[in-house]
């Protein structure tokens, strides 16, 4: 009976950045445990492929091209999901990234504004678009994607990225406090080094992957499925007493002290 609490049977989820990588892994994972999924991203062919895979699993899927930095498109994503499925139970704010990483001395105002929009504004807009529906339902779950960079400094590489991802942690706590009385839970995930089609360009061989994983306790890179399993738990009734929390999933991170 306890295992039934991990199921997402006939719940409706929106997953942004679902065309590839972690977002696609979460979308497919949700479908595997019973959810219907709206998959959103800017690249039409990628989200259509994800939607087709979900439909092949016997679940319903809706592919909606969306720039999550533009309110009108985010609003359309939420409304079309509601029109198609009649409810919105889960939102995963996975879309985000870097453009590209740069040290402080090279920043322009436009660069900083772009990072804020891509990683923080986008999540605020998506939350705003679904929260009234979840409040009316008196139940909902929001999962915000942060990063290990929110908790660990990467010198000369990613202060802008890390700052925006750290802001997501506080946003998660603040929204959890605000929305708890409406039955809405809000949590965050901080992935470490995950092997995807994008990061695979860097870790392109088994030797490079081993090098990338050497500072993790488990000595391997993560997979989108690893993150998806955590997202399934947080979205399910098995996590019904969990809100305002941030979960780091890294395979263990840091040097082991030798005595």
Distance, in Å, from the CA atom of 40 to the CA atom of 5, rounded to the nearest integer, reads 27
Based on the residue annotation, tell me whether 161 is a catalytic residue of this protein. yes
Burial annotation 172-188 (CB, 10 A radius, 16+ → b, else e): bbebbeebeeeebbbbb
Burial degree of 4 (CB within 10 A; 0-12, 13-18, 19+): exposed
Spatial CB neighbours of 33, under 8 Å, sequence gap ≥ 6: 6, 7, 8, 9, 232, 236
Which one of the listed residues 111, 161, 217, 247 is annotated catalytic?
161
Distance, in Å, from the CA atom of 60 to the CA atom of 51, rounded to the nearest integer, reads 8
**Kind and range of the H or E run holding 186:** strand 184-191
- The CB density around residue 57, as the number of other CB atoms within 10 Å, is 12
- Catalytic residues, which ones? 161
């Amino acid at each position: 009976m306890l295992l039934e609490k991990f199921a997402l049977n006939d719940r409706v989820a929106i997953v942004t950045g679902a065309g590839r990588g972690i977002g696609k892994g979460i979308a497919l994972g949700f479908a595997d445990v019973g959810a219907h999924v709206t998959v959103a991203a800017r690249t039409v062919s990628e989200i259509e492929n994800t939607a087709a895979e979900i439909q092949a699993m016997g679940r319903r899927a809706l592919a909606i091209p969306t720039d999550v930095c533009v309110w009108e498109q985010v609003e359309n994503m939420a409304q079309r999901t509601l029109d198609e499925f009649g409810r919105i139970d889960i939102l995963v704010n996975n879309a985000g990234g870097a453009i590209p990483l740069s040290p402080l001395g090279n920043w322009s105002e436009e660069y900083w504004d772009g990072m804020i929009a891509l990683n923080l504004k986008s999540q605020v807009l998506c939350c705003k678009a679904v929260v009234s529906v979840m409040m009316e339902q008196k139940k909902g779950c929001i999962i915000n994607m942060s990063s290990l960079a929110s908790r660990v400094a990467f010198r000369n590489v990613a202060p802008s990225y890390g700052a925006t991802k750290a802001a997501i942690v506080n946003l998660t706590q603040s929204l959890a406090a605000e929305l708890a009385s409406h039955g809405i839970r809000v949590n965050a995930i901080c992935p470490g080094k995950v092997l995807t089609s994008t990061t695979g360009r860097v870790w392109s061989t088994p030797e490079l992957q081993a090098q990338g994983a050497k500072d993790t306790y488990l000595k391997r890179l993560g997979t989108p499925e690893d993150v998806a399993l955590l997202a399934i738990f947080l979205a399910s009734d098995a996590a019904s007493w969990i809100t305002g929390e941030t979960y780091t999933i890294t395979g263990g991170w840091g040097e082991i002290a030798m005595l």
